[in-house]
Chains A and B, each alone.
Chain A
Amino acid sequence: MNLTLKIWRQKNNSDKGGFKDYKLGGVSEDMSFLEMLDVLNEELSGKGEDPVHFDHDCREGICGMCSLYINGKPHGPQQTTTCQLHMRSFHDGETITIEPWRAKAFPVLKDLVTDRSAFDRIIQAGGYVSVNTGGVPDANEIPIPKTIADMAMDAAQCIGCGACVAACKNASAMLFTSAKVSQLALLPQGQVERKTRAEKMVAQMDAEGFGACTNTGACEAECPKGISITNIARMNREYFSAVVSSQNV
């Protein structure tokens, strides 16, 4: 395959940045999207040019490190992570536009790499449970109904990649935050900090500058892990019931 790549290049956070076009030949349709970028970077390095910076880690679709807004969609045309996207989803001669996630809360560090530590700070605000130290507890010590465990597991599938923020017209982090709030609110282990968690995580989400939710459903449609917006409704319930009943004046 021969491709034209229109890639966002930006030296650093204070640089204005802009698109640069690259011609890339000999791309196999069996390559993953990131392998295709590896090939491009090999060429650029060989020519002494600065390679295109992009985030990646496990390349197995489970770590949430890869990103990229490809041809107008987060993680490209398939509902998967960019590392699991293959070049057979594109055709010979296609022009592919590659942009970083766009959100005030995700500033561009270099090229396609954004700083997603805002998500870490939302987790630090309340996305944890208190547990006793000591020996490993017995399995099934705390009874959890299968349906509840499944719902918690569905929410826990969120890998925190930020595609929801990237897809949302408001750059809202409601899907991410609600998945984390839901996962812990559903389980018995999460009850201790339940109210404080909802209040603090929402406050942190707002402090980071993520937008509000318009319920367009774009996040759910683009999420590589299929996180449902029912979690957003749950977070709203958790938050509203927490603010009216918690001891935090």
Chain B
Amino acid sequence: MSWVSKTLSSTLGRKLLMALTGLFLILFLVIHLIGNLQLLFPDNGESFNLYADSMAHNPLIRLVSIGNFAFILLHVVYSILLSRYNKNSRPIDYAVSKASTNSTWSSRNMGILGTVILIFLLVHLKGFYYEIKFGEMPVVDYAGVTYKNVFAIVAAAYSNLLYVVFYVVAMGFLGFHLSHGFASAFQTLGLNHVKYSPLIQKVGFGFAIAVPALFALIPIVMYIWSL
């Protein structure tokens, strides 16, 4: 085995991959959020539709999106590998365990939180990504040019209360996942320092609340608009 594959198959190497892919996905969340917040511009979706069109035709974005799917897959595959390995490290469990006195619930249940997020992601991709890429799309004209009316299918989806509730709940799970994952990724990378760690903890906590809350705000507002 080469030193690279030996390193990446060690427990530390696997955690490194989890941390790096996790941090990339955190960055992706920020970009995705900035784009999606344009749904809330009161211009009947014009700025959002133009933005969606520019994203779809930007070669750099298309390249990054392939990377994004690859990193999601890596994050999922390695979490399964690690979870199985970790479970195997304690074949017989304790009869009595007071884990809640020494660690947070989210830190102990990243797998469960991640699974719910993955289910959400699949529904989300089917509902929007797949429809926009391959589905029959309504169109709209701006200054004589025809664009796909992405805003229309988002607005239609978010007029369904069940869908909105699903999104908001999923964002709650994402928040708990991030509340541990954000700072944990830095610790895995070895970035633990008396000067910076308190800041990383605080930023991570704020991020875990603000980003999912803003994501959840979009379907809520659009549902209210649809009434």
Q: Is the CB of B3 within 8 A of A249?
A: yes
**Quick one: which of A211-249 are within 8 Å of B by CB?**
211-218, 221-222, 229-230, 232-240, 243, 248-249
Chain B nearest CB from A7 CB (Å) reads 11
* In the assembled complex, B58 has its CB within 8 A of some CB on chain A: no
With beta carbons under 8 angstroms apart, the residue of A202, A205, A215 that contacts B180 is A215
Cβ contacts B84-118/A at 8 Å (1 or 0 each): 01101111111111110111100110100000000
Binding site secondary structure of chain A? mixed
- The answer for the CA separation of A210 and B90 in the assembled complex, in Å, is 8
A residues with a Cβ closer than 8 A to B are 6, 19, 69, 71-73, 97, 99, 102-105, 167, 169-172, 174, 202-203, 205-206, 209-218, 221-222, 229-230, 232-240, 243, 248-249
Q: Is the CB of B89 within 8 A of A234?
A: no
Q: Is the CB of B102 within 8 A of A236?
A: no
Pairs A-B, 10 closest by C-beta atoms: A233-B192, A237-B190, A211-B89, A72-B98, A170-B86, A221-B102, A216-B103, A212-B11, A236-B190, A216-B107
* In the assembled complex, B154 has its CB within 8 A of some CB on chain A: no
Cβ contacts B183-201/A at 8 Å (1 or 0 each): 1100111111000010000
- The answer for the CA separation of A210 and B86 in the assembled complex, in Å, is 8
Q: Is the CB of B11 within 8 A of A205?
A: yes
Q: Across the two chains, which residue of chain A brings its CB closest to B197?
A: A230
Chain A nearest CB from B157 CB (Å) reads 35
Q: Is the CB of A103 within 8 A of B89?
A: yes
**Quick one: which of B54-106 are within 8 Å of A by CB?**
82, 85-86, 88-99, 101-104
Which residues of A sit under 8 angstroms from B146, Cβ to Cβ?
none
Chain A nearest CB from B195 CB (Å) reads 12
Q: Is the CB of A104 within 8 A of B89?
A: yes
Chain B nearest CB from A234 CB (Å) reads 7
Which residues of A sit under 8 angstroms from B221, Cβ to Cβ?
none
Q: Across the two chains, which residue of chain B brings its CB closest to A239?
A: B12
20 A-B interface contacts by CB (under 8 A): A69-B94, A73-B102, A99-B94, A102-B92, A102-B93, A103-B89, A104-B89, A167-B102, A169-B86, A170-B90, A209-B88, A211-B11, A212-B15, A212-B82, A215-B187, A221-B101, A221-B102, A233-B192, A235-B12, A236-B15
With beta carbons under 8 angstroms apart, the residue of A103, A232, A238 that contacts B90 is A103
- The answer for the CA separation of A202 and B14 in the assembled complex, in Å, is 13
Q: Is the CB of A73 within 8 A of B189?
A: no
- The answer for the CA separation of A205 and B13 in the assembled complex, in Å, is 13
Q: Is the CB of A221 within 8 A of B88?
A: no
Q: Is the CB of B7 within 8 A of A243?
A: yes
